[in-house]
Chain A
Amino acid sequence: MNAALVAVYAFRETLRRRVFLAVLVLTTAFVALYWLGARFVFSKTSGFSGNPVVDENVVRGASVFGLALFATYFLGCVLAIFLTLGAIRGEAERGLLQPLVARPVGRSSLIGGRLLAAVLVCVPYVVVVYAIVLAITRHTLHWAPDRQLEPMLALMLAVTIIAALSLLGSVFLAPIANGITVFMLLGIGMVAGLLGQIGVVMKIHSLERIAEASSWIAPFEALYQRSLFALTAETSGVTKTVLSLGPFGGPQAGPSQLWLWSLGYLALVTAAVLAAFARLDL
C-alpha cells in the first residue's frame, strides 16, 4: 500500500519534470527517422546481394530491425537510469527523503515504490516503442522477426535490471557519479556482447567465453543479445551467414538458464538495495 503511494508520487514527479514530454518528442523523432530509413532501405536495396540463395528480405528486415532493437534498448536504459540515479542519496542531499523516512513507512516500501515507479515508466515505454517499430517493419519491409514476443520480453527484463542497478548505486553514490557508473557498466556489457558476436563470427572461442562470462555478470546485455538472436532464431543457411556479418549479426542466445538467472539477478540486486538502504544513515 505504502509502496504504491510512493510509486504514485514518484510517477507524478516524473510527469512534473516533463520527462514524458521530452521522451515523447525524441521518441517520435526516432520513430519517424526509423520509418524513413526503413522506406529507403526497402526501395533502394532490391537485388543488392546478387545471390538468389540469400533471402534479401530477411537480411534487410533483420538488419534494420536490429538497429531499432538497439535503439529501444538504449533509450529504455537511459530512461531507467535517469529516473533512479538520484533516488536515495540525491534526494537525501536535497532534503526530500528525510520527512518520508521519518514516517511509519518501511524503508522497503520507499525503495519498492521508487523501483515500481521507474519500471512503470520504462517497461511500457519499451513495449510501446517495440510495438511501433515492429508495425513499421512489417508494413514497410514486409518482414517480421522469427520470434516476436521474446525480444520484447528480454528488453523489458533488461531495463528493469538496469533500473534496479541504478537504484542500488543511488544508495552509495551521488547522482552524477551513479549515472556515470551505470552508463559505464552498460557500456562494458555492450563491449562484452560485441566481443562475443565477433567471437561467434570468427570462431574465436576465448571471445565467446568472455561474452558468456559477462552474461552472468551483466545479464541485461545477455538479454539484449537474446533479443537480437530471437529475430532470426529460425533462419539458417547462407542468409544466416550473411546476417552474421552485419552490424547486428552473430548474437548469442546466452546460457539456457538466462531467464531464470536474470530474474534471480534482479531479486539479488533488489535485496542488495533493501539491505543497503536499511543500513544507511541519512
Chain B
Amino acid sequence: MPPALTTRALVKRYGRTTALAGVDLEIAPGELVGLLGPNGAGKSTLTKIVCGIVRSSGGEAKVCGARAGSRSARAAIGYLAELFRFPDWLSAEEVLVLHQRLASSRGGADERRDLLGLVGLTDARRVRVSAMSKGMQQRLGVAQALVGRPRLLLLDEPTSALDPAGRRTVRELLERLREREIAVLLNSHLLSEVELVCDRVAILSHGRLVAAGAMNELTRSRGLEVETSAGVRLIEDVGRAQVPQLVRELVAAGEDVFSVRLVRSTLEEAFLELTGSDAA
C-alpha cells in the first residue's frame, strides 16, 4: 500500500515570497501526524497543495500514489479548511448529502448517521447551518471531511473554534480514525493537543521542515526532579539508570527522599527551540 502522503522537495512561491522551500514529508496509512509551525511557516500552503486547491511551484506531492490535485488524489482525501463555511440555508444532513454527491459516496443515510454520531451532532441533523454555533459548524466540518471514507484526512486548525468539550470530542474522534486506518495530517497551533493525539510531529519554519519524528524523538531528557526533605531540585544529565544510585547517595547524606521523577522537555520547548519563535 503506498504512503497516504508523500511530498518531495515541495516548493511554493507567491511572487517573490517563498512559502515552501523544498519540503519532504511522508505519512504512512493510518498514521496521525501533527503539523506545527509559527504563523506564516507554510502549514496551510502545504495542506492546500495536498488537497489540490493551490498549485505547487516545484517538487511533487502524492496522495496514496496519485499526483496531488488529480481527481483520484482528491477522491482519497477529506479536507477541513481553516476558514470554511457551508451554505447557511442547508441543514447538517443536507450539507453531508451535497458532499456525498460531490464525492460520489454511496454511503447514503447510514454514512450520514454514522458521521453525525461521530461528531456528536445526531440531534442536530435537521438544524440549519445558520442556527448552529461556531463549534457545531466546526464539528459538521469534520463530519463533511470524512464523507466518502477518505484515506487521508487534512485538518487545518480543526479545534480553533471549539470549547474544551468540543476539543475533547475531536481528540476522541481522531483516536477512532486511527482504528479506521485513516491517515491524518493535523495542522494545529495547540501543541498540547498535538502532543496528546499524534504519532509523529512535523515542524515547519520559514517554509522548511526543521524537524520530524515521534514525540520522544523531538523532546529530550532534562534530568531527574527529586523531592527530598531539603526541597525540590532538578538534577541534570542523569537518566533512569542512575536513579537507585542517586537515591542511595541522598539517603546516605541524611536526606529523606519523597519522590523521583524523570523530566523531559515539552513539545512546546522543542518547538520554540527549533523554530526560534516566542509563541506557537
A, B assembled together: yes
* Chain A contacts to B: CB under 8 angstroms: 2, 5, 9, 12-13, 16, 94-96, 98-106, 279, 281-282
Contact A95–B89 (Cβ < 8 Å):
no
Selected from B51, B72, B86, the residue in CB contact (under 8 A) with A102 is B51
27 contacts between A and B (CB under 8 A): A5-B98, A5-B101, A13-B89, A16-B87, A16-B89, A94-B85, A95-B81, A95-B83, A96-B87, A98-B81, A98-B83, A99-B79, A99-B81, A99-B86, A99-B99, A101-B52, A102-B52, A102-B74, A102-B77, A102-B81, A103-B99, A104-B71, A104-B103, A105-B102, A279-B55, A281-B54, A282-B53
> In this assembly, does B258 line the interface, its C-beta being within 8 Å of a C-beta of chain A?
no
Kindly report which residue of chain A lies nearest to residue B70, judged by CB atoms: A104
Asked, given contacts A104-B104, A279-B55, whether A99 binds B84 with beta carbons under 8 Å apart, the answer is yes
> In this assembly, does B151 line the interface, its C-beta being within 8 Å of a C-beta of chain A?
no
> Considering residues A13, A104, A282, which has the most beta carbons from chain B within 10 angstroms of its beta carbon?
A104
Chain A residues in 8 Å Cβ range of B74: 102-104
Selected from B14, B87, B102, the residue in CB contact (under 8 A) with A103 is B102
Asked, given contacts A103-B103, A106-B71, whether A9 binds B98 with beta carbons under 8 Å apart, the answer is yes
> With A and B bound together, what is the CA distance between A144 and B48 in angstroms?
58
Chain A residues in 8 Å Cβ range of B79: 98-99, 102
Question: Size range of the interface on B?
Answer: 20 to 34
Measured between C-beta atoms, what is the minimum distance from A87 to chain B in Å?
13
Chain A residues in 8 Å Cβ range of B84: 95-96, 98-99
Kindly report which residue of chain B lies nearest to residue A5, judged by CB atoms: B101
> In this assembly, does B275 line the interface, its C-beta being within 8 Å of a C-beta of chain A?
no
Contact A96–B86 (Cβ < 8 Å):
yes
> With A and B bound together, what is the CA distance between A281 and B53 in angstroms?
6
Residues 103 to 120 of chain B near chain A (Cβ within 8 Å): 103-104
> In this assembly, does B201 line the interface, its C-beta being within 8 Å of a C-beta of chain A?
no
Measured between C-beta atoms, what is the minimum distance from A252 to chain B in Å?
44
With contacts A100-B102, A103-B74, A282-B48 known, what are 14 further pairs, Cβ within 8 A? A5-B101, A13-B87, A98-B79, A98-B84, A99-B84, A99-B99, A99-B144, A102-B51, A102-B53, A103-B99, A104-B71, A104-B102, A281-B14, A282-B54
> In this assembly, does B5 line the interface, its C-beta being within 8 Å of a C-beta of chain A?
no
> In this assembly, does B202 line the interface, its C-beta being within 8 Å of a C-beta of chain A?
no
> With A and B bound together, what is the CA distance between A175 and B51 in angstroms?
26
> With A and B bound together, what is the CA distance between A95 and B141 in angstroms?
12
> In this assembly, does B21 line the interface, its C-beta being within 8 Å of a C-beta of chain A?
no
Interface string of B19-62 (1 = CB under 8 A from A): 00000000000000000000000000000100111110000000
> Considering residues B53, B71, B103, B141, which has the most beta carbons from chain A within 10 angstroms of its beta carbon?
B53
> With A and B bound together, what is the CA distance between A103 and B99 in angstroms?
8
Residues 135 to 160 of chain B near chain A (Cβ within 8 Å): 141, 144
Contact A281–B55 (Cβ < 8 Å):
yes
Contact A101–B53 (Cβ < 8 Å):
yes
Measured between C-beta atoms, what is the minimum distance from A67 to chain B in Å?
37
> With A and B bound together, what is the CA distance between A12 and B53 in angstroms?
25
Chain A residues in 8 Å Cβ range of B53: 98, 101-102, 281-282
> Which are the 5 A-B pairs with shortest beta-carbon distances?
A103-B102, A102-B79, A104-B75, A95-B85, A104-B74
Chain B residues in 8 Å Cβ range of A5: 98, 101-102
> With A and B bound together, what is the CA distance between A282 and B101 in angstroms?
22
> Considering residues A13, A94, A103, which has the most beta carbons from chain B within 10 angstroms of its beta carbon?
A103
> With A and B bound together, what is the CA distance between A98 and B99 in angstroms?
12
Measured between C-beta atoms, what is the minimum distance from A201 to chain B in Å?
51
> With A and B bound together, what is the CA distance between A13 and B90 in angstroms?
10
Measured between C-beta atoms, what is the minimum distance from B87 to chain A in Å?
6
> With A and B bound together, what is the CA distance between A104 and B103 in angstroms?
6
Measured between C-beta atoms, what is the minimum distance from B15 to chain A in Å?
12
Chain B residues in 8 Å Cβ range of A101: 52-53
Selected from B52, B71, B87, B104, the residue in CB contact (under 8 A) with A9 is B87
Kindly report which residue of chain A lies nearest to residue B81, judged by CB atoms: A98
Measured between C-beta atoms, what is the minimum distance from A7 to chain B in Å?
13
Measured between C-beta atoms, what is the minimum distance from B255 to chain A in Å?
60
Chain A residues in 8 Å Cβ range of B103: 103-104
Measured between C-beta atoms, what is the minimum distance from B79 to chain A in Å?
4
Measured between C-beta atoms, what is the minimum distance from B210 to chain A in Å?
24
Kindly report which residue of chain A lies nearest to residue B87, judged by CB atoms: A13
Measured between C-beta atoms, what is the minimum distance from B85 to chain A in Å?
4
Measured between C-beta atoms, what is the minimum distance from A64 to chain B in Å?
41
> With A and B bound together, what is the CA distance between A165 and B77 in angstroms?
33
> With A and B bound together, what is the CA distance between A106 and B104 in angstroms?
13
Chain A residues in 8 Å Cβ range of B72: 104
Residues 211 to 225 of chain B near chain A (Cβ within 8 Å): none
Chain A residues in 8 Å Cβ range of B85: 94-96
> With A and B bound together, what is the CA distance between A232 and B52 in angstroms?
54
> With A and B bound together, what is the CA distance between A202 and B144 in angstroms?
64
> With A and B bound together, what is the CA distance between A279 and B56 in angstroms?
11
